[in-house]
Amino acid sequence: MAPKRTPSPSPNPRPTPTPTPKTPEQIRNEARAKAGAAEAKQNASIAAGKAADAARLQAQGNAVGANIKGPRTTVVTKLPTGNTGSTGSVSVVPPVVDPLIMAQLDALRAENALLKSNKEAATAAQRQSAFDLLRKYAEDFDMPASIADRLIDLVANQGYTGTAITLELQNTPEFKERFAGIEAYKKAFAGDIAAGRKAAAPTPSDYINFEKRYQDVLTRYGLGELANRDTYAKLIGGDVSVAEMTDRVANVYDRVMNADDVLKQQLTQYFPTFGATDFARTLLTGTTPADMAGQLQRKLAAAEISSEAARAGLTTGVERAQELQAMGISRGIARTGYSRIAEQKTGLEKLSGIYNQDISDIQTELEAEQFQGLASQRRKRLEQQEQGMFAGRSGTSQTSLSQGTAGTF
């Protein structure tokens, strides 16, 4: 007999096909189908349970009415009937299954089927609820629906859960675009965050809360045009708190926009090219908005000093106003000081004509006297001459000598 031949393996075995991952849409459709089937099955189980209850009640009524009696059958058994050794017959009733028990068993089976159906329906409902939750998540954070499909794929096809989903989500282009300020904050303050000098980057919930509060401030001050994501991202990325932003708007922008006519005229020397919106944007989100805010506030204070000089009929240059601002001269002090300087200057101009004295640039000396405590020598000489003329002598009066004890100019 010829030896049995073993077939050789195919030289090119067919590879086992790799299952194609399901798309988010397929996953959602399957979840909806399973939820529908489970609901139908649950309804059928409920109907079966009701039928079983009805059958049980019917069986109970039948059992009571018939007193659970079955047909009698004669069965011959070989039992001794006395001393003769003959046999007799005995009637026995065959066992009858209680209909009540049968109804209870049917009800129990229906109840188990209902529990199983409810469990399947609950599982399908939870799965669908999870998908709906992901879509709601995207809507709440004002992100495109495509991010929900991406999350569904992570959960259903790749098995991601919890923290892994959160980390993966933050790496998506949609997340980085929606929360651009988070990435900017991380880059700008990476070293400070690592050293504990800065707090960790805000969460999406914190971010949205900041946006709402920024919007409230901008709207309140009539800057609704700046209430947009780009502004919010720059403020958050620059670690500008709501309180700091409000301070910048209230102490600089609002003062500029609501200045009186005299101050507005002076402001044109300091902010000649800024429109309202451009000015506010630079103030809030410039390259270095904190420094910008400080510079603008100092310029504003200088402009206010200039406006008080103009209000008194005097002229003060930008540099001189900035010098006075650096000395700590406020608008209120400037108002009182320039009012006094205007009075003195008018009287001195008359005296200079009488006594042929040069008082060019006398305002600078009077400013030093009012704001720095340095007595003006030319003012003193003219006043002494005037007093000497009326007193009949050219000496120095006690009144004139009592002024300017802190120094001379």
Biggest CA–CA distance in the chain, Å, is 185
pLDDT digits (tens, 9 = 90+) for 336-392: 999 999 998 888 888 877 777 777 788 888 888 889 888 888 888 877 777 777 765
Q: What pLDDT score does 60 carry?
A: 56
Contacts of 349 (CB under 8 A, 6+ apart): 359
Residue 69: the pLDDT is 47
SS3 state at 101: helix
Low pLDDT (below 50) residues in the chain: 64-65, 67-77, 79, 90, 92-93, 393-406, 408
- From 353, 348, 405, select the one nearest 381 (Cα to Cα): 348
Residue 130 has a pLDDT of: 60
Residue 122, pLDDT score? 58
Identify the CA nearest to 366 among candidates 326, 325, 316.
316
Structure tokens that stand for 23 in this block:
């798309």
- Say what the pLDDT of residue 168 is: 80
pLDDT for 260-269, tens place per residue?
888 877 777 7
Q: What is the pLDDT of residue 97?
A: 54
So what's the pLDDT on residue 356? Answer: 78
Check if the beta carbon of residue 328 is closer than 8 Å to that of residue 302: no
In whole angstroms, what is the distance from residue 136 CA to residue 196 CA?
34
Whole-number Å distance between alpha carbons of 224 and 228:
8
Backbone angles phi, psi at 80, to 5 degrees: -65, 140
C-alpha R_g of the chain: 49
Q: Is 189 helix (H, G, I), strand (E, B) or coil?
A: coil
pTM higher than 0.95 for the full model?
Answer: no
Residue bearing tokens 């009733």: 93
* pLDDT at 396 (0 to 100): 47
For residue 121, give the H/E element and its range.
helix 99-140
